Every structure is written in C-alpha cells, then in structure tokens.
Amino acid sequence: MGDVTGASDIDRAVKAKHRAMWALGDYSAVADQLIPALGRTLVDACGIRPGTRVLDVAAGTGNAAIPAAMAGADVVASDLTPELLDVGRLIAGRLGVELEWREADAEALPFGDGVFDTVMSCVGVMFAPHHQAGADEMLRVCRPGGTIGLLNWTPEGFIGRMFATMKPYAPPPPPGAQPPPLWGVEDHVRALLGERVVAVEARRDTVRVDRFTTPEEFRDYFKKNYGPTIAVYRNIADDPERVAGLDRELAALAREHASPTGAADDGSGMAMDWEYLLLTARRR
C-alpha cells in the first residue's frame, strides 16, 4: 500500500499547495461545461462494463468516474482535494449514481496491491508532481491483466501551450516536479509504464470547445474558474503590468487556436480543438 510517512516536509508542502490550488474557482464548471465528453471517451476506451472494479485517480468531480459508474462498474473516485470530491458526491447524487469517493494522493494511493480491474485517470494524474511515482502507484493497485487508461493534454495542444504561456508568470516549480503536459507525450508515458505493461494503444485526438464567443471571454472564464490559472494570477497580483501581459498572452493564444462558428446570437462565436493523448495498456 502507498505510504506517505516517508514524505519530506517539502513534499508535504507541495501537496498542500496542490490541494489548495485545485480548490480554487469552480473546476466542476470547467469539467462539465467544456470537456464533458472526455470522461466517457476514456471509459469507452478502457472497455469498462458492469462489475468492473475501477479506480479513477485524481478524479476531480468525477468526469470519468461517474460515467464508469453509470456503465455498471464498481467505482472508487480518488482525489487529493476533498472540495472536489464533495462536489462530485452532489453531482452523482443528483444523477442517482452510486460510487465511493476517497481522499487520496495519486503518489501514495491507500489501496492494496492489484485490487482493481481498471485504473484510469482523465487529465488528473498528470498534475501530480512526480510522474514516475504516480505511474508506479497506478500499476501497483491494478491487477495483473487489468487495464491502465490515461487521457492527458499534450504539450503541443491548446492546454499544453496555455501552461507554457503561464509558466513565466508562475512561481518556480518545486525541485523534482515535472511539467504536467509530459503525460501527453507517448514516449514519456511508455517509459513511465515500462515493461510492466503490454498491448499499449495510443492515439492523439481533440475535443471541440465552442462555449466562448471571444478569446477574452475564454481568458476571463479561466481566470474565474480554473485553479491553476487563478493561482498564477494571484502570484502576480501586485504587478499590474505583468497581469496585463498575461491577459494579452492568454487572449492571443485563444485567438490563434480559434475558428469562427457563427453560433452566437449575433452570428459571432468561436471554437477551439484541444488536443489530448489517449493511451490504454494491460498490466503484464
């Protein structure tokens, strides 16, 4: 079973910051309004069916865990941030879906070896700072012959480029932390999993986001709702010039990726295609 007793004070401080960051804003809105299809995409790719024992790592508010439960699986949704789990419980309750919600660190999962048929993560484990530790834990709790399923943003895609845009405005990462979008690089994920898996299948795809009518609307939505973006703006809050600079850069990034839709009432509107890597494998 994963053990946090050997964690350093630095590691504990990093995890506390991560927990607080993801509690900012309204991640449930981001997941439900912008990328609701991604959870179902991962569930389908994993072949989840009634009776499957599933662990969703860094589940957030249940974007993948709830569809897995709706497919009849026996699901545990785990996340470092209890505020997200609380929202997930409410969403599941409204839908009449039953699953277990468990506060847990992706790098030290509180579950026994090989107890799940499928261990998955939808744009979740990628944000744990130590990639090998997260991968090792996912493999440890997956039974031999079970399925590992991962859906993560790519570095070249919109969200990966958004993190690159925010990086100069963010505090320096803690020692040993790796960039989240590396989980969207197939060779990186294959190296993390190593020879412990077989039947690896990977493909890049995109999800279309057409909720925003202007690049500025996108930027302001993320400033209000998305924990990592809120945290970066808080880091530069006392420097109006840097705030204005990040404002311009995020709007420019959205403008670069946008295509017109004409979906708004006034005939305006835009759509963006956000790239992700979907990878499944079977534990050897």
Identify the CATH class of 9-210+273-283: alpha beta
User: Could you give the percent of the chain with pLDDT greater than 90?
Assistant: 91
b/e map 3-18, b = 16+ CB within 10 Å: eeeeeeeebeebbeeb
pLDDT digits (tens, 9 = 90+) for 205-227: 999 999 999 999 999 999 999 99
pLDDT digits (tens, 9 = 90+) for 102-130: 999 999 999 999 999 999 999 999 999 99
Give the CA dihedral 77, 167, 178, 108, nearest 10 degrees. -30
Average pLDDT, stretch 229-256?
Answer: 98
Cα(167)–Cα(202) distance, integer angstroms: 28
pLDDT band per the 50, 70, 90 thresholds, residue 266: low
Please say if the pLDDT value at position 179 is more than 70: yes
Cα(66)–Cα(39) distance, integer angstroms: 8
Q: Please, are residues 153 and 182 in contact by the beta-carbon 8 Å criterion?
A: no
Concatenated DSSP letters of 211-256: --SSHHHHHHHHHHH-HHHHHHHHHTTT-HHHHHHHHHHHHHHHHH
The domain ranges of the chain are: 9-210+273-283, 215-260
Concatenated DSSP letters of 170-212: SPPPPTT---GGGGG-HHHHHHHHGGGEEEEEEEEEEEEE---
Average pLDDT, stretch 68-97?
Answer: 98
pLDDT attached to residue 175: 87
Average pLDDT value for the chain: 95
